[in-house]
Amino acid sequence: MKKLFFLVSLLAISVSSNAQISEFKEFTNHFDVTPKQFAYGGESFILVQSGESENTIDVYNDEIEKVRSFQVQYPSRTSGYKTLSRKLEIKDVARDSTQQMNYNNVNDSYVFTWEEALDYAAEDDYSSQQSGYILWPNSKSSYFFHYEFGLLYPASYYRWIPESGYLYSYDITYEVSTGEWETTSDTKSVYNEYFDLWLNDYDGNSYIENDFIFTQTLFNTDEKYEYLVPIFGEIQEEVCYEEDRNLDGEVDRREYRYDTPIQGFKVVSEDGTVLQSIETEMSSSAYFAILKINGKVYLSCGAKDGHDDTIYRIDPFSTSIKKVNNVPVSVVARYSVDGRRQAHPRRGINILRYSDGTAAKVVEK
């Protein structure tokens, strides 16, 4: 939801040896441009975040001259994850042994020397001598090690017994117990939050691909800039994942998600005045779109998951935002199944795009 502003560098350009050279400010900061139809006097300005602060906005004209600055007030949001785990401990170890025979398929009673045992084990990647005549695997692959419980323990090993000359293979199984709960990770971040806007002008059949933040004449008729910010509730912790690592029927790992619920939005003027405050259920990744339909302006708000978007009618002259139940819907575009735009209905499948942003397949007979 955070807006990713564009980075731009405006460089000096000389069109001829006698031409004037204009110096342009190099913008290395984030910037925003208000669409002309929502700009005071129909003239757009460039709005730049000043320095490292997101709260100071510098306004530049099309000559790249700074004309003024203002402060914004973005609310803070907290998000992140926390993981709690019960420490796993080895409670018991069981070993099953099998005498190795048929060495190189010679006979069933072949007696190993230590050097031959080393060569035999090396073929199975058991060439790391540990203590005495015990050979542990070199590889960390799951074929040789237990990974089921998040623990790294060998699943088997070789042992050579000098007295007999036999090489034995041991398969190991572990019984794992759980200890006390402990926090294994906690990533919590706090950042400023605001809403971006997209414009869908169905009357003019034009769309703004890049989002923007600030408007002047969308919510009222004065020269001040306005922007949308969320209304947050209290931070919540909710379980988003659980795991039973040792398969004993009890959860021993739990992941929590930090979430700051959005309970509505505010329209805020650049001087800090709240023009309107609307409480409504919204998705944690809510979005806003401006819809121009039949000469009227609407604000489409991303609703809580599983619900339809909420539509509001905007009246800048009364500084009012009113929820509406029905929005006039019309066909704004028609396409064939291969994506080619059509001026008229064609027999067969037609893909219709409506003024509310939805689409549907319609069969014309």
Between these two residues, 259 and 357, which has the higher pLDDT value?
Answer: 259
Provide mean pLDDT across the span 285-313.
Answer: 79
Instruction: Look over the chain and give the mean of its residue pLDDT values, rounded to a whole number.
Output: 78
pLDDT tens by residue, 42-65: 899 999 887 666 788 999 998 888
Q: Given a cut of 50, is residue 7 above it in pLDDT?
A: no
Sign of CA dihedral 223, 40, 222, 214: negative
**For residue 61, how far is the Cα from the chain centroid?**
35
Q: How far apart are CA 49 and CA 229, in angstroms?
A: 17
pLDDT at 45 (0 to 100): 92
Cβ contact 58:47 at 8 Å: yes
pLDDT tens by residue, 249-266: 889 999 999 988 888 899
Q: Given a cut of 60, is residue 20 above it in pLDDT?
A: no
Q: How far apart are CA 200 and CA 333, in angstroms?
A: 13
Q: Given a cut of 70, is residue 278 above it in pLDDT?
A: yes
pLDDT at 318 (0 to 100): 67
pLDDT tens by residue, 156-214: 889 888 888 888 888 888 888 888 999 999 998 888 889 989 888 888 776 666 789 99
Q: Given a cut of 80, is residue 6 above it in pLDDT?
A: no
Q: Given a cut of 60, is residue 242 above it in pLDDT?
A: yes
Q: Given a cut of 80, is residue 13 above it in pLDDT?
A: no
Provide mean pLDDT across the span 147-160.
Answer: 78
- Give the Å distances, CA to CA, from 333 to 145, 202, 240, 350: 60, 10, 41, 10
Q: How far apart are CA 220 and CA 265, in angstroms?
A: 17
Q: How far apart are CA 200 and CA 292, in angstroms?
A: 6
pLDDT at 341 (0 to 100): 79
First to last CA, the chain: 43
Query: Which residue pairs from 21-25 have beta carbons closer than 8 angstroms and sit at least 24 positions apart in sequence?
Result: 24/64, 25/60, 25/64
- Give the Å distances, CA to CA, from 343 to 130, 207, 349, 361: 79, 19, 14, 16
Hey, which residues does 92 pair with through a beta bridge? 175
pLDDT at 358 (0 to 100): 61
Residue 269: other Cβ atoms inside 10 A: 18
pTM value is 0.60
Provide mean pLDDT across the span 222-231.
Answer: 93
pLDDT tens by residue, 104-146: 445 555 678 888 888 888 888 887 767 789 988 887 776 777 7
Which segment of 163-177, 250-264, 291-305, 336-350 scores lowest on mean pLDDT? 336-350
pLDDT at 64 (0 to 100): 86
